[in-house]
Each structure stands twice: as C-alpha cells, then as structure tokens.
Amino acid sequence: MLDDLESVLYTSEQLQSRIGEVGAQISRDYAQTHPLVIGVLKGAFVFLSDLVRHIDIPIEIDFIATSSYGSSTQSSGAVRMLKDLDQPAEGRDILLVEDIVDTGTTLNYLRDTLIRRGARSVKIASAFDKPSRRRIPIVPDYCCFTVPNAFLVGYGLDYAERYRHLSCVGILRPEIYTDEH
C-alpha cells in the first residue's frame, strides 16, 4: 500500500510525538472543565483514538458523521449530517476533533450547529491543516501539522475508503485517482 504514495509526509513516530504535545496542551487548557470531545467520522477516528490517550483530565467522547468526499477528491461544498450526537450539546465545552481542515466548510457547519444548540464553547483540534485551500475563515485551536495543497491519505484519511489504516500520512500518487484536486 505504501507503494501508492508519492511521498510520506509524516511517519508514525512523528505523528505520535506531536500528538503527545497537543494532548498535553489540551489537558492544561481544559483542566477546570470536563469537555465533550467529538470525533468527526470517519476520518478522525485514528487521530481521536491517539489524542484522547494523551489527555489526562476527565472527558466524555461522542461521534458525529458528516458527508465526505466519497470516492472523489473534490469537496462538493455542501455538508450533510449522517450521524448526530448521542447527547445534548447544550451547556457543554466541546472539542471537535477533525482529521484535516481543508475549505473549512465542514467545521464551520458543525461549529455553527453546536453553538445554535447552546454549547458553552466550541474549539477545534485537527491533525492536519491545509490553509491554502480555505474558503471559510476557520482556524483550528489545536493543529498538529500544517500541510501543503496535495491530496493526502493515511492516518484516517481515505481515497475511496482505502488507506485509512496507514500509520503514516502521505501524498497519494496522482495516477491512482482520475479527478483533479
């Protein structure tokens, strides 16, 4: 599977080391509260499971699912809720955990939705940030790595549901997909 990568951006060791730092920062920042940590499925499941094991304060975990790129590498611009939270957002300090911030459409929609439901605060933790592609001014409060404008796979990120289980993250070789990114 690694043969399908043009290059590896971050190895498993590099990811784990940086996530440890971010987890420690989150533990300090939320020391006075019990945040609700929300993983945005499917892509965030790997990052969330690593991140929460570096958080040493009481937290609750829930998941939300939105529509994704499917088998394409282009965002449609529209967000659909596929799975909602199991518990109310009202009054909660929420940490949204996302795989990558690209145009900002998904997180803008989720943040607005949670604020409208009465969340006390909403912050964003993202494994990767692709600021060059931003259409909506979303800035993650916690970000592990800023990445170039390329289509990434691995560490939760897929192409046509493949590659999510790679422990590194890398750039997919363009000949693997036909769409322009």
Residues at the site binding ligand 5GP, with contacts judged by CB under 6 A: 43, 68-69, 75, 98-106, 130, 151-153, 157-159
Burial (Cβ within 10 Å: 0-12, 13-18, ≥19) of residue 90: exposed
- C-alpha dist (Å) from residue 171 to 2, 10, 35, 163: 10, 10, 33, 11
Q: Nearer to ligand 5GP by C-beta: 120 or 162?
A: 162
Least distance (Å) between residue 91 CB and ligand 5GP: 27
154 vs 12, 21, 48, 70, 110, CA distance in Å? 10, 21, 14, 15, 23
Which CB, 95 or 100, lies closer to ligand 5GP? 100
Which CB, 92 or 111, lies closer to ligand 5GP?
A: 111
**Catalytic site includes residue 62:** no
Q: Report the nearest approach of ligand 5GP to the CB of residue 9 (Å).
A: 10
Question: One of 93, 99, 102, 158 is an active-site residue; which one?
Answer: 102
CA atoms within 13 A on the CB side of 17: 5
- Closest contact distance (angstroms) between CB of 54 and ligand 5GP is 21
C-alpha distances (whole Å) from 72 to each of 172, 179, 180 are 13, 7, 9
CB of 31 to ligand 5GP, least distance (A): 28
| 127 phi, psi to nearest 5 deg | -65, -45
Q: How far is CA 43 from CA 72, 105, 117, in A?
A: 15, 15, 24
Give the residue numbers annotated as catalytic, written as ranges.
Answer: 102
